[in-house]
Amino acid sequence: KNQVEQSPQSLIILEGKNCTLQCNYTVSPFSNLRWYKQDTGRGPVSLTIMTFSENTKSNGRYTATLDADTKQSSLHITASQLSDSASYICVVSAYGNNRLAFGKGNQVVVIP
Amino acid sequence: ETGVTQTPRHLVMGMTNKKSLKCEQHLGHNAMYWYKQSAKKPLELMFVYNFKEQTENNSVPSRFSPECPNSSHLFLHLHTLQPEDSALYLCASSQDPLRGTEAFFGQGTRLTVV
């Protein structure tokens, strides 16, 4: 079983609408959690990184939340734009090793 | 631009060919990684290099052979690949692998084995 589970697997939203992506993880001991955006055929680019003590972090129209007690994170996209169409990958790092646990990604398609 | 450059961006090769993927990072990082990304699957870690030394080989078949001549360059030599090896191969670098510091990814090489 993957240590990082993301939902929904794919999502279609209208331009201008908001959406929320979910990430549940079992990685322990927890070090940090990152959300990456990956455009088709390109490498992932970091959006946010959060450590144990951080609950919310924003990057423009992207807002990530973290509940380290329940081991859940979410990524909220506000006022979506066509350029937000991409795969959003949740990545969790365990403390003390070089392992990154990757989710399969949330595939978001924004339509006009 | 993330500071990690991969070449070529696309590669089509036959099963009997030998080719190499190149990765270069301009971030002064100490660790470099190769990942494989297949459709509808999470990124799979292949190799980790820290200060030019291989610290992890994630049970990768010997038809994939990594080389790290210095901390800024990483190669992946390919020979006698199979069609199921077709995927996006991503290189990444980070400052400190043991502390889970942020990984910066290259644009990837889309490999097709025919």
What is the per-residue pLDDT across A45-78, written as a single tens digit (0 to 9) for each? 999 999 888 999 999 999 999 999 999 999 999 9
Distance of CA A53 to the CA centre of its chain: 17
Average pLDDT over chain A reads: 92
Letter for the amino acid at A89? I
Q: How many CA atoms lie within 13 A of A67 on its CB side?
A: 8
The pLDDT of residue B57 is: 85
* Residue A53: partners with Cβ closer than 8 Å, 6 or more residues away: none
Average pLDDT over chain B reads: 91
A43/B45 CB distance under 8 A: no
The pLDDT of residue A94 is: 83
Q: Which two tokens stand for residue A16?
A: 């201008």
Mean pLDDT of B48-66: 90
Give the pLDDT band (50/70/90) at residue B1: low
Which pLDDT tens digit goes with each residue over A72-107? 999 999 999 999 999 999 999 887 765 788 999 999
**Is residue A9 predicted with pLDDT exceeding 90?**
yes
Give the pLDDT band (50/70/90) at residue A2: confident
- Tokens 């996209």 appear where? A77
A104/B45 CB distance under 8 A: no
CA dist A21 and B52 (Å) reads 37
The pLDDT of residue B69 is: 95
The pLDDT of residue A1 is: 62
**Is residue A28 predicted with pLDDT exceeding 90?**
no
**Is residue B22 predicted with pLDDT exceeding 70?**
yes
Taking CA atoms, what residue in A is nearest to B33? A98
Inform me whether the C-beta atom of residue A28 falls under 8 Å from chain B C-beta atoms.
no
Taking each continuous run of H as one helix and of E as one strand, the counts in chain A are 0, 11
C-alpha distance from residue A95 to each of A53, B35, B98 (Å): 14, 20, 8
Distance from CA of B80 to the nearest CA of A (A): 24
Residues written for chain A: 112
Angle ∠(A5,A88,A4) on CA atoms, nearest 5: 15
Nearest alpha carbon to residue B59 among B42, B46, B77: B46
The pLDDT of residue B36 is: 95
Distance from CA of B93 to the nearest CA of A (A): 11
* Residue B33: partners with Cβ closer than 8 Å, 6 or more residues away: B45, B46, B47, B48, B49, B91, B92, B93, B94, B103
- Tokens 């069609």 appear where? B83
Give the pLDDT band (50/70/90) at residue B107: very high
Inform me whether the C-beta atom of residue A46 falls under 8 Å from chain B C-beta atoms.
yes
A98/B90 CB distance under 8 A: no
* Residue A60: partners with Cβ closer than 8 Å, 6 or more residues away: none
Nearest alpha carbon to residue A102 among A17, A18, A13, A27: A27
Distance from CA of B79 to the nearest CA of A (A): 23
Residues A43, A90 contacting (CB under 8 angstroms): no
Taking CA atoms, what residue in A is nearest to B87? A41
Task: Give me the residue from A42, A43, A98 closest to B98, CB to CB.
Answer: A98
**Is residue B91 predicted with pLDDT exceeding 90?**
yes
The pLDDT of residue A97 is: 67
Distance from CA of B60 to the nearest CA of A (A): 16
Letter for the amino acid at A3? Q
